[in-house]
Amino acid sequence: MKETLLFWGVTLLAMGGSVVCLWQAHKRDLKNYIVQKATPLPIRLINVHDDVWLRGAARCSQLVTAPWFHLNCLHYEYKLEERVKRGKDYSWVERKSESGTARFAVEDATGTIQVAGDQAEYDGLSRQQQREGSFRHTVHFLPYPCTISVVGCTGEGKKILHPYENIPLIVSTRERADYFKYHERVETALRVAGFVLLFGSFSALIWKLAPILKIPGFSTGSIGWAMGAAAVLAAPFWLIHVYNRFAVARNRVENAWRQIDVDLRMRHELIPNLVAAVQGYMNHEKDMLERLTAIRAQAAKASGISSQVEAEGLLGGALGKFLVAAERYPDLKASPQIQHLMAQLTALEDKLAHGRAVYNEIVTEYHTMVMTFPRNLIAPVLGFREYQAFQPSEGAPVDRAPQLQLQ
């Protein structure tokens, strides 16, 4: 009787663990997507209610001190556990926990902004642990001085970063690429663990129930048969999971492109005004201006992501050459109208540069998902195709917007 109860308890626990792992993987995936869209910017360029990714040195005038370890730091999470005997085994039981956070700011080469550290989630903390008899002391802490990444939303007056609606406030010691690499590994591990637990619980259930139900062809103790039947039973769940992940990834690609498309249309509207304003100053660049106008008209008519990517790549290259040529005309910098138009164009190109980077990251993630075995076997059947990455043509830098120095 005890063995039967233990069996059902472990099996149900495994099924529950599977659900928890897959749900946690889904939550991490959604959070990573939100964080991925945060724009990496210098502090001087952020605006109110921007969701941004900042990287800089932490600044603090009064640190907090972690108990037991007496560490002066920006943030700590302390836990005291006792080793207690339960039956034949020992386990650690939490006796006390506390945390503390100092008031601090992040500073880069362009400015400083406060961080609502008491509302933040902390990532990549340092760790120390000590044992004293049957007690164990553990602390996770953010040391000082340190360089940090902060993701959050800018408040009124651009004086503080805080969480806002679905945008979290995250303080991490990791750089952007390392942050996503680490959390994607954790997400993958959770998905694998979820399906391993699901497969294991199905195998156990079939192995236990098949002899009782007298299923033809099943012999008592045939775990191989049970595992094969569990694989067939788990397959529909896996297919549904994969299809949903494909659909979410495809929607994210298309949403990322829609945001780029909004900025592209604003650029299309700005270029004719800019060309008209500079024509009187750039008489020797008539052919280049006519070519820019023609390419802009072609890009405005393009439809579909692939054709738009190609057309906008050409337009980006033409704009890059235009801005380089504009540097040769000092009189342009003296015109307030042209300065205003150039500032608008520079801001748009900065937004497009980030939008293009996010779009390419999402497309790469989608392609990895679609082309990885065994998902590459079912992606074409389910109608999921590849998307074209956004790579500018020659003359338009990939990692930054073209600039005209107005000062």
- 251 and 368 in a single domain? The answer is yes
Q: Say how far apart CA 385 and CA 94 lie, in whole Å.
A: 50
pLDDT computed for residue 208 by the predictor: 77
Pick from 5-19, 93-107, 190-204, 206-220 the range whose average pLDDT is largest.
93-107
Kindly state the average pLDDT of the residues 376-394: 75
In a domain, 404, yes or no: no
Structural domain includes residue 228: yes
Specify if 105 maps to a domain: yes
Partners of 129 in the β-ladder: 138
H-run or E-run covering 97: strand 89-101
Say if residue 360's pLDDT is above 60. yes
Q: What's the rounded mean pLDDT across residues 238-258?
A: 87
Helix axis angle, 336-371 relative to 2-36, nearest 10°? 150
177 in any annotated domain: yes
In a domain, 273, yes or no: yes
Place 211 in a pLDDT band, splitting at 50, 70 and 90: low
Contact 30, 100 (CB under 8 A): no
Average of per-residue pLDDT across 201-215: 75
Give me the chain's average pLDDT, please: 85
Cα dihedral 27, 32, 33, 34, rounded to 10, equals 90
Per-residue pLDDT at 101 exceeds 80: yes
CA 107 – CA 170 distance, rounded (Å): 16
Residues 149, 91: one domain? yes
Tens of pLDDT, residues 30-62: 999 889 888 888 888 788 888 889 999 999 999
Q: Which residues pair with 370 in a beta bridge?
A: none
Q: How far apart are CA 175 and CA 56, in angstroms?
A: 10
Strands 111-115, 104-108: pairing is antiparallel
Evaluate whether residue 86 is within a structural domain: yes
Q: Are residues 90 and 166 in the same domain?
A: yes
Give the single-character DSSP code of 277: H
- pLDDT of 177 higher than 70: yes
At 397, the pLDDT band (50, 70, 90 cuts) reads: very low
The sign of the CA dihedral 49, 52, 58, 64 is positive
Does 347 or 237 have the greater pLDDT score? 237
Specify the range with the lowest mean pLDDT, choosing from 90-99, 192-201, 224-233.
224-233
Range of the domain at 217: 2-26+186-234
Evaluate if residue 219 carries a pLDDT over 80: no
CA distances from 188 to 13, 26, 127, 361 (A): 21, 10, 24, 17
Q: How many Å apart are CA 2 and CA 10, to the nearest integer?
A: 12
List the one residue out of 90, 147, 150 whose CA is nearest residue 117. Answer: 150
Same domain flag for 87 and 65: yes
pLDDT surpasses 80 at 138: yes
pLDDT value at position 10?
A: 85
93 belongs to a structural domain: yes
Q: Please write the tens of the pLDDT for every residue from 72-95.
A: 999 999 999 999 988 888 899 999
Q: Which element (helix H / strand E) includes 236? A: helix 223-278
Total structural domains in the chain? Answer: 3
Q: Is 20's pLDDT higher than 50?
A: yes
Find, among 327, 322, 325, the residue nearest to 291 by Cα.
322
- The predicted pLDDT at position 137 comes to 97
| Pair 377, 267 in one domain | yes
Contacts 24+ apart (CB under 8 A), 285-294: 285/322, 285/325, 288/318, 288/321, 288/322, 288/325, 289/322, 291/318, 292/318, 292/319, 292/322
Average pLDDT on 198-217 reads 76
Stretch 370-376: mean pLDDT: 82
Instruction: Report which residue type is found at 312.
Output: E
pLDDT digits (tens, 9 = 90+) for 288-337: 888 888 888 888 888 777 788 888 888 888 888 887 887 777 777 677 88
Co-location of 172 and 201 in the same domain? no
Task: Mark whether 376 and 271 lie in a shared domain.
Answer: yes
pLDDT for 406: 41
Instruction: For 112-124, write each residue's pLDDT tens digit.
Output: 999 999 999 999 9
CATH number of 291's domain? 1.20.1440.20
Q: Which two tokens stand for residue 19?
A: 């659900």
> What's the pLDDT at 395?
44
- Taking 50 as the threshold, does the pLDDT of residue 184 lie above it? yes
Percent of the chain residues past pLDDT 90, beyond the cut: 35
pLDDT at 94: 95
Residue 298 maps to a domain:
yes
Q: Tell me what pLDDT residue 112 has.
A: 94
More confident residue, 218 or 234: 234
Residues 57 and 131 placed together within one structural domain of the fold:
yes
**78 and 13 in one domain?**
no
Check residue 405 and give its pLDDT.
Answer: 47
More confident residue, 244 or 119: 119
Q: Are 121 and 176 part of one and the same domain?
A: yes
Quick one: 195 and 289 in the same domain? no
Residues 176 and 191 in one domain: no
